[in-house]
Amino acid sequence: MGVTSHDSIPSLPASLLTGQKALVTGANSGIGRATAIKMGQVGADVVVNYVEDEEAAKEVVSEIEDFGGRAYAHRADVANEDEVVTMLEAMVDRFQTIDILVANAGIQRDAPFENMTISEWQRVLDVNLTGQFLCAREAIKEFVRRGVVPGTSNSAGKIICISSVHQLIPWAGRANYTVSKSGVQMLMETLAQEFSSRKIRVNAVAPGAIRTPMNRPAWETPEAEASLVEMIPYGRVGDPEEIATAAALLASDLLDYVVGTTLYVDGGMKLFPEFLHGG
């Protein structure tokens, strides 16, 4: 069995999100990049959020424009309240509203627990958890203000939180990251409970091991990849496009009855594969 290859993913309907406005945070790299492009391919207008690499964000915008989509890049640190408020105000100004938030921006600052600094702890929680809180809060204000627009979507708005299998699986040396992601799970479920009566759908995608810059050392050599694949029953590392497809489906009316759910897209990583042979 090859550890890298898989057949190509079938395309989603080209009009899946036509007329909808999507904000994807951390959209200049990895999973966010693939998700912004996917949203554009299926008809959404897209805000490509980034914080550092403006050139990469502009390339994502160009790629969306090249196939006739509408997009622009917006720099904002998702952990900064004023910058998030301004980003949402600018989006409403430019695109009139927001229908879909993909809260994706995330970082790792790994350290053995006894050496973890307060800034490594705090920054990961600020970006991965507070960032999702701030973006969700500002998006929900607009969803509630606007309500359902018949003909656009059955929902008043959709939030897709990008979490991780590590909302469930402890991970030594990454206490900051695992705590941030388990926080994302409870944030997502609480918002889903609080706002579904107002037709706002909140769900999460929890990726397993996906081939992005964030975890490059885990897959960039054949040896590293083979060792990673031992933790994945399905026998391969995932691609960013597979997370993008899951996010686009969750944002669409095809999954209109899916509320407060985490969709694990992980090749079975959370199934305790070490128990496959005995235990």
Instruction: Name the amino acid, one letter, at 79.
Output: A
Distance from C-alpha of 232 to C-alpha of 222, rounded to nearest angstrom: 15
Q: Which of 50, 177, 257, 264 is catalytic?
A: 177
Q: Does 161 bind ligand NAP (CB under 6 A)?
A: no
What is the full DSSP assignment across 104-167? Answer: ---------GGG--HHHHHHHHIIIIIHHHHHHHHHHHHHHHH---TTT-SSSEEEEEE--GGG
Beta bridge partners of 185: none
- Cα separations (Å) of 153 from 73, 81, 148, 213, 232? 24, 28, 7, 34, 36
Residue 72 φ/ψ, nearest 5 degrees: -150, 160
Per-residue interface string for the shown chain with ligand NAP, residues 233-262, x marking contact by CB under 6 A = ------------------------------
Residue 50 is a binding residue for ligand NAP (CB under 6 A): yes
Task: Let me know if 221 is exposed, middle or buried by CB neighbors in 10 A (0-12, 13-18, 19+).
Answer: exposed
Asked if 209 touches ligand NAP (CB under 6 A), the answer is: yes
Residue 101 binds to ligand NAP (criterion: CB under 6 A) = no
Which residue, 146 or 173, is less far from ligand NAP as judged by CB?
Answer: 173
The reply to whether 202 sits near ligand NAP by the rule CB under 6 A is: no
The one segment of 9-17, 25-33, 138-146, 257-265 that binds ligand NAP by CB under 6 A: 25-33
Residue 214 within binding range of ligand NAP, rule CB under 6 A: yes
The answer to the question of residue 30 lying near ligand NAP (CB under 6 A) is yes
Among 12, 79, 87, 188, indicate the residue that binds ligand NAP (CB under 6 A). Answer: 79
DSSP reduced 3-state for 6: coil
Does residue 50 carry a catalytic annotation? no
Interacting residue with ligand NAP among 11, 19, 52, 154 (CB under 6 A): 52
For 50, 75, 80, the CA distances from 61, given in Å and listed in that order, are 12, 13, 23
Task: Kindly state whether residue 167 participates in binding ligand NAP, applying the rule CB under 6 A.
Answer: no
**What does the binding site for ligand NAP look like in residue numbers (CB under 6 A)?**
25-26, 28-32, 49-53, 77-79, 104-107, 127, 162, 164, 207, 209-210, 212-215
Active-site positions read 177
